[in-house]
Chains A and B, each alone.
Chain A
Amino acid sequence: MEKLLNLLKSNARLTNAELAVMLGKTEAEVAADIEKLEKDGIITGYTAIVDEAVYDPNSVTALIELKVTPQSQSGYDDIAKSIASYEQVESVRLMSGAYDILVSVTGTNIREVSRFVAENLAAIDAVQSTATHFLLRSYKVNGISVTADEKDERGLMFP
């Protein structure tokens, strides 16, 4: 399963036939393994890794740290879920340490993201404070290096 997961993590578009060959299994076995991974909630989806900076050079992504007062019944859950429901929000994570919730947001420009933080995050009653960090450059995303391919310094041919 680990090898299958690693292959899918590096390229989710490999066909079952290709996966089967590489893992020394039958296509049916691979299909069953994937179905189990999905059913068990281990694989929760398949997405494209988009380099937003190439797609839209003006777009900005921010990581926002939130200090939050937990609610008496639901703790952090309800607040996290309501933040997650915004379309601009890419991820919401509860963290240990100096702050509680880490949110990542992408917008078409800095002003838009700043406004989102001020109007939609800072305004939540339970949010005590926010710290917004704008992303400058990504080197690796989801385990995949996204910098331009490093040059192969090996020669073309060697015995």
Chain B
Amino acid sequence: MIDYSKVLSPAIVNMKPSGIRKFFDIAQQLEGVISLGVGEPDFKTPWVVRREAINVLEKGRTSYTANAGLADLRKEAARYFSDRIGVDYDPTNEIIITVGGSEGIDLCIRSIVTAGDEVLIVQPSFVCYCPIVTLCGGVPVPIETKAENEFRLTAEELRSKITDRTKLLVLPYPNNPTGAIMRREDLEEIADVLRRTNILVLSDEIYSELTYSGKHVSIASLPDMRERTIVINGFSKAYAMTGWRLGIAAAPCELTSQMLKLHQYAIMSSPTVSQFAAITALRECDDDIVKMRDEYDMRRRYLVDAFNKLGLDCFTPQGAFYVFPCIRSTGLSSSDFCEKLVYRKKVAVVPGNAFGECGEGFVRVSYAYSLSHLREAIKRIGEFLEELKNGTLQ
């Protein structure tokens, strides 16, 4: 019999599965669980986009596209970046249409990081950065952001982690799970630290359209920063297109030309039907974005207020579709809180430490759910806290 332990790559075998697996399994086996646990929109993809996909299928346009993606889509993407973040990219060689923002992140890290390189990763954050860095032989160096700074990265925190082996900073704002954003003045401080270095920035801006106070600012738009920044964006969150698997990576051509080699060998080209539909999204769906954002915004205000009233401190996030209340006042760890809550009240939320150790003491609550769903969940969480307090929790 084959001994798989001898044939599998140790780098993969040693890769930790995602920290939410356990809760997912518990929630899965219980009846009647209501979840606040997902990271994808509850809206459907705008109808014009779906209709365009149907058209494309009817016409049988199902072959591969150019490796970097349809020329028209890259042109629209370049227009989008110019419009939204004020940075110009050449659609012929500075933009790659990827399989979700996920692939863009992978291409970026693998094109840059080699053995011994240190990669600064702002935490709490999305779960994919560390494993990919480790796979490349790099060393993930967490930078822990703090609730009292509204989970923004400060120049001081950044400076204290830079060594002469630092290769890349992962800057994931608007942030999953905290909902934090970086304002222009915050980014300017970061840019000041990076400007005279060779450190690159992976700016994961997948939630850029979900910014609730003012306009999203990209670090790539600050002086001297375009040349050292890889911007990752995509269609999943802004256009409610998670299942279409489409993202955009934009960077100077010295970087994209390398990333494109990897994309070419691993992927060939991103899904063709999705690419055609995405052209329609970029051309026609600005209004849909605004409508969805307004709806998220009302839910965000509702949840922040509700958690604070329940006695769980919750700063007002300015981006994405998560709130990140602090649950320390309950005396429970994040994991215990989530486990008890799902068993006793059948509400699933994600423990903050799934997004890095500094997320301990918090839970991530998604508001990609209808208001009536959120109200029911808040009611149950209220009962849970009450019963915890007077010791009647079953």
Contacts and interface: CB of A to CB of B under 8 A. Distances in A.
B298 A22 contact: yes
B33 interface: yes
B127 A159 contact: yes
Interface in A105-159: 152, 154-159
A42 B176 CA distance: 40
A11 B27 CA distance: 30
Nearest to B295: A6
A158 B302 contact: no
A7 interface: yes
B298 A157 contact: no
A152 B127 CA distance: 24
Given A156-B35, A157-B38, A159-B18, A23 B298 contact: yes
Interface stretch (B54-62, B72-80, B328-336, B348-356): B348-356
A30 to B, nearest CB: 13
B301 A21 contact: yes
B126 A159 contact: yes
A3 interface: yes
B20 A157 contact: yes
Interface residues of B, number: 28
B24 A24 contact: no
Given A155-B24, A157-B350, A7 B298 contact: yes
B298 A158 contact: no
Interface in B4-21: 18, 20
B371 interface: yes
B38 A158 contact: yes
A157 to B, nearest CB: 4
Contacts of A156: 24, 27-28, 33, 35, 37-38, 348
A152 B42 contact: yes
Contacts of A21: 301-302, 305
A38 interface: no
Interface in A1-25: 3, 7, 10-11, 18, 21-24
B40 interface: yes
B126 to A, nearest CB: 6
A3 B294 contact: yes
User: Which has the most chain B C-beta neighbours within 10 Å: A18, A21, A156, A157?
Assistant: A157
B37 A11 contact: no
B39 A159 contact: yes
Interface residues of A, number: 16
B301 to A, nearest CB: 5
A158 B37 contact: yes
Nearest to A152: B42
A72 to B, nearest CB: 47
Nearest to B349: A157
A157 B27 contact: yes
Contact of A159 (B42, B299, B348, B355): B355
B81 interface: no
Given A11-B371, A154-B40, A159 B302 contact: no
B109 to A, nearest CB: 17
Interface string B283-305: 00000000000100011011001
B27 A22 contact: no
Contacts of A24: 301
A20 B147 CA distance: 26
A154 B39 CA distance: 9
Nearest to A24: B301
A64 B23 CA distance: 55
Contact of A157 (B24, B42, B126, B299): B24
Given A3-B294, A11-B372, A154-B38, A159 B354 contact: yes
B351 to A, nearest CB: 10
A155 B27 CA distance: 10
Contacts of B302: 18, 21-22
User: Which has the most chain B C-beta neighbours within 10 Å: A21, A23, A159?
Assistant: A159
Given A3-B294, A159-B39, 8 more contacts: A10-B371, A23-B301, A155-B37, A155-B38, A156-B348, A157-B35, A158-B38, A159-B18
Interface of B: 18, 20, 23-24, 27-28, 33, 35, 37-40, 42, 126-127, 176, 294, 298-299, 301-302, 305, 348, 350, 354-355, 371-372
10 contacts: A3-B294, A10-B371, A11-B372, A154-B38, A156-B35, A157-B23, A157-B350, A159-B127, A159-B354, A159-B355
User: Closest 4 interchain pairs by CB?
Assistant: A157-B37, A22-B298, A156-B35, A21-B305
Interface of A: 3, 7, 10-11, 18, 21-24, 152, 154-159
